[in-house]
Amino acid sequence: MAKEILSRGVTRRAVLGGMAGVAALSIAGRVSAAGGEAPALAQLAKDGKLPPLAERLPKKPMVVTPFEKVGTYGGSLRRGLRGSSDHNGILRMVGNQSLVRWNLDFTAVQPNLAERWEVSDDATQFTFHLIEGVHWSDGHPFTADDVVFAIEDCVKNTELYSSTPAQLAVAGKPVTVEKIDDYTVKFTFAAANALYLENLATPLGQHPTLFPKHYCSQFLPKYNPNIEADAKKAGVTSWTELFRSRCGDIEIPSRWGNVDKPTLDPWVVKEPYAGGATRVVMTRNPYFWQVDTEGNQLPYIDEINFGISQDVESLMLNVISGKIDIQERHISVLANKPTLSKNMEKGDYRLLTLVPSASQQCQIYFNITHKDPAMRKMFADKAFRQALSIGINRQELIDIVYFGQSEPYQAGPRPTHPWYNEKYARQFTEFDADKAGAMLDEAGYKKGSDGFRLRPDGQKVFFSIDVIPTLYPDLVDALELVKAHWAQIGVDMKVNTIERALYYTRGDDNAHDAAVWPGPGGLDPMLDPRDFFAFHPQGSRYAIPWTLWYTSNGARGEEPPESQKKRMKLFDEARSTADLDKRGAIMKQIFDIAAEEFETVGLCLAVGGFGIIRNNLRNVPEKEPDSWSWPNPGPAMPQQFTFTS
């Protein structure tokens, strides 16, 4: 799949190294600001209500090459959100203004607010050179002080963040940020942090550019001794609550709930995302610091209008009647594709292809650390898991549930990735019910009188698999088929459809027999290796106690077996290895061990989603990665989207 987006001669090799091409780009990205600006802003500047364009832009503003052509100003872009907890829907469209960003192909890190940087050989020191003369959306200059303030005063404030966010701490110690001069900052980590630039390009890397010092400092006790009184006046109980409601955080709704907070985004909040809002409106940032190749200030589009739908069906209705300009979020499930394809002419839109960065569409996690010793013994039996895997008729499942658009797959990087591991990806995917039965017989699970198998202790082989129907309806359909396949080999399973919070509570309590979830790590194996070893405290559902042991450095959870500990050590090593070839070699060892242990049972390769783009909306790539780390469509730079009419 990766070849679908690697269309511009950037090889996958450059992906994780992330350094290639950076220097060339930052030099090319400098022209003088002689271009135009939006008519409304020009009028304001003429009336003296705004400084002239040249004073609002940096001396050498960042130049963005439009995807198709230089655009024209104007228009309001319509997009849909859901009523609750959909703040990341705004983040993905607007809030991608970090120090660095991903390129369109998701292969390399590029300059953004930092025009260039140096990394020390041991990958502990990162020195960033900020673009000079960038302004916050209220006209206040953005400098090294803001970056130092954001990390040292906000993120490292233990009352605000009782523990430092994972990206900013290595070896249990938080990063130190120093100001070298007004436009240079140095990040120093306690140990090697080779992945920092890639992490910085993901949404969770936005902390350094999130908090404007001149505004947010008024909500910190260090700068404002009367803060408790102010908090009381604002009707909240503590200053930390006031800080969060006024300055937000990377991914909480209140980030988009304050119209006064200055930002570096192309659009700023005009009508906030607050409880009970029926829409969110964002309007252009007059101080936005990027221009197109002719020097015109971005963004082209005046306004973004996020309508809030309570119901996906009414969002679909808006799409097919042409009332949405670009949308993939919420509507991208395969079941909607026929309807959306049929109405392309009526809604005047074209389809957008999403290339999944995930690996597995439906990963089955048997709880190898089950509380019940008999169940634990059964799930921990590799032969049992292998037998169940070959007892699944994957082709039938793919044809029925995924309209034939996938292939049998276990786990690991996607087939086009340079670290692809054939054995890990394909073993035990051949459907063979007879062999599966024979393997179960041999493992000691003999058939009883009713045709179902019995455990050695005489109990029936029966377990339930947790699934959240509201989040992933296709997984329920897939499991129903698996249930039928397993019934043929004498194994009884219950598809346990439960509510989201219960799913998590059961996972946290280690109370589940098994659970399903899409398996990540197909294109970004370093960023989310939860299926390769016990890495993710909520996600590696085959052994939550092992992940707790790993994340707490052995203080909590349960000590994992040697093969897990070896992989944990290897991954820590890979994380601090700057050299891509060496890092790849380490990761390949992890995949070999994981293939041998066969802890998770996968069904099929993750299927691509899709979206729609109105025909009059241009400069939008029609194929883009679908990932949280590449928070589509943000890295496609919506600021250079433009309307033709």
Partner 1 sequence: MLVFIAKRFLWMIPSLFAVSFLAFVLIQLPPGDYVTTYIATLAASNEIVDQNTAAQLRERFGLGDPMLVQYFKWMWGILTRGDFGISFEWQQPVSDLIWERMALTLVLALSTLIATWAIALPIGVYSAVRKYSIGDYFFTAFTFFGLAVPSFLLALVLMYVAAVEFGQDVGGLFSPEYENASWSFAKMVDLFSHLWLPVIILAVSSTASLIRVMRANMLDELPKPYVTTARAKGLSEFRLLMKYPLMIALNPFISTIAWLLPNLISGSVVVAIVLNLPTAAPLLLQALMAQDMYLAGAFVLLICALTLIGSLISDILLALVDPRIRLE
Tell me which of 67, 161, 420, 431 binds partner 1, using CB under 8 A.
161
The one segment of 314-322, 364-372, 482-490, 602-610 that binds partner 1 by CB under 8 A: 314-322
Which residues are registered as beta bridge partners of 174? Answer: 169
Q: Are residues 221 and 42 in contact, defined by beta-carbon separation less than 8 angstroms?
A: no
Distance CA 594, CA 603 (A): 17
Nearer to partner 1, 483 or 536 (CB): 536
Tell me which of 499, 579, 596, 622 binds partner 1, using CB under 8 A.
499
Please, what is the angle between helix 562-575 and helix 580-597, to 10°?
160
Contact pattern for partner 1 over residues 186 through 205, marking x by CB under 8 A? ------------------x-
Tell me which of 423, 455, 483, 536 binds partner 1, using CB under 8 A.
536
Q: Shortest gap between Cβ of 258 and partner 1 (angstroms)?
A: 10
Nearer to partner 1, 486 or 517 (CB): 517
Q: Shortest gap between Cβ of 204 and partner 1 (angstroms)?
A: 8
Distance CA 557, CA 580 (A): 32
Cβ contacts of 396 within 8 Å, gap of 6 or more:
481
- Round to the nearest angstrom and report the end-to-end CA distance of the chain: 34
Tell me which of 430, 508, 579, 622 binds partner 1, using CB under 8 A.
508
Q: Which amino acid is located at 14 in the chain?
A: A
The reply to whether omega before 633 is within 30° of 0 (cis) is yes
The one segment of 294-302, 498-506, 590-598, 635-643 that binds partner 1 by CB under 8 A: 498-506
Tell me which of 32, 237, 339, 488 binds partner 1, using CB under 8 A.
237
Going by C-alpha positions, the residue among 99, 193, 183, 88 that lies closest to residue 143 is 183
Rg (CA), the chain: 26
Q: Is 27 in the site for partner 1 (CB under 8 A)?
A: no
Three-class SS state of 284: strand
Nearer to partner 1, 287 or 533 (CB): 533
Q: Is 502 in the site for partner 1 (CB under 8 A)?
A: yes
Tell me which of 97, 98, 206, 254 binds partner 1, using CB under 8 A.
254
Cβ contacts of 643 within 8 Å, gap of 6 or more:
71, 72, 74, 75, 77, 300, 301, 616, 617, 618
Distance CA 436, CA 368 (A): 20
Q: Shortest gap between Cβ of 553 and partner 1 (angstroms)?
A: 13
Distance CA 3, CA 103 (A): 15
346-374 core/surface letters (b: 16 or more CB in 10 A; e: else): ebebeebbbbbbbbbbbbbbbbbbbeeee
Q: Which amino acid is located at 315 in the chain?
A: L
The one segment of 170-178, 419-427, 494-502, 562-570 that binds partner 1 by CB under 8 A: 494-502
Instruction: Scan for tokens 């292809």, then name that residue.
Output: 353
Nearer to partner 1, 502 or 585 (CB): 502
Q: Which amino acid is located at 239 in the chain?
A: W
Nearer to partner 1, 13 or 346 (CB): 346
Q: Are residues 223 and 149 in contact, defined by beta-carbon separation less than 8 angstroms?
A: no
Nearer to partner 1, 295 or 518 (CB): 518
Q: Is 553 in the site for partner 1 (CB under 8 A)?
A: no
Nearer to partner 1, 462 or 504 (CB): 504
Nearer to partner 1, 311 or 579 (CB): 311
Q: Is 314 in the site for partner 1 (CB under 8 A)?
A: yes
The one segment of 105-113, 213-221, 319-327, 332-340 that binds partner 1 by CB under 8 A: 319-327
Distance CA 252, CA 260 (A): 17
Q: Shortest gap between Cβ of 328 and partner 1 (angstroms)?
A: 13
Q: Is 504 in the site for partner 1 (CB under 8 A)?
A: yes
Tell me which of 30, 179, 323, 447 binds partner 1, using CB under 8 A.
323
Sign of CA dihedral 27, 33, 36, 39: positive
Instruction: Scan for tokens 């070298």, then name that residue.
Output: 180
Three-class SS state of 16: helix
Angle at alpha carbon of residue 568, lines to 566 and 574, rounded to 5°: 105
Q: Shortest gap between Cβ of 199 and partner 1 (angstroms)?
A: 12
Contact pattern for partner 1 over residues 440 through 479, marking x by CB under 8 A? -------------------------------x--------
- Bridging pattern class, strands 62-64 and 290-292: parallel
Going by C-alpha positions, the residue among 353, 247, 228 that lies closest to residue 626 is 353
Helix extents (H) in 416-465: 422-426, 433-442
Contact pattern for partner 1 over residues 272 through 311, marking x by CB under 8 A? --xxx-xx-x-----------------------x-xxxxx
Contact pattern for partner 1 over residues 216 through 235, marking x by CB under 8 A? -------------------x
Where does residue 222 rank: exposed (0-12), middle (13-18), buried (19+ CB within 10 A)?
exposed
Which token pair is 156? 């490292």
Nearer to partner 1, 280 or 605 (CB): 280
Tell me which of 26, 88, 336, 360 binds partner 1, using CB under 8 A.
88
Beta strands, E only, 293-427:
303-309, 326-327, 349-356, 360-366
Distance CA 379, CA 377 (A): 6
Taking CB under 8 A as the criterion, which residues in 331-350 touch partner 1?
346
Q: Shortest gap between Cβ of 427 and partner 1 (angstroms)?
A: 25
Taking CB under 8 A as the criterion, which residues in 354-383 touch partner 1?
none
Q: Shortest gap between Cβ of 243 and partner 1 (angstroms)?
A: 10
Q: Shortest gap between Cβ of 504 and partner 1 (angstroms)?
A: 5
Q: Is 520 in the site for partner 1 (CB under 8 A)?
A: yes
Question: Which residues contribute to the site for partner 1 (CB under 8 A)?
Answer: 83-85, 88, 161-163, 165-166, 204, 235-238, 240-241, 244-245, 251-254, 257, 271, 274-276, 278-279, 281, 305, 307-311, 313-314, 317-318, 320-321, 323, 346, 471, 499-506, 508, 520, 528, 536-539, 548, 551-552, 628
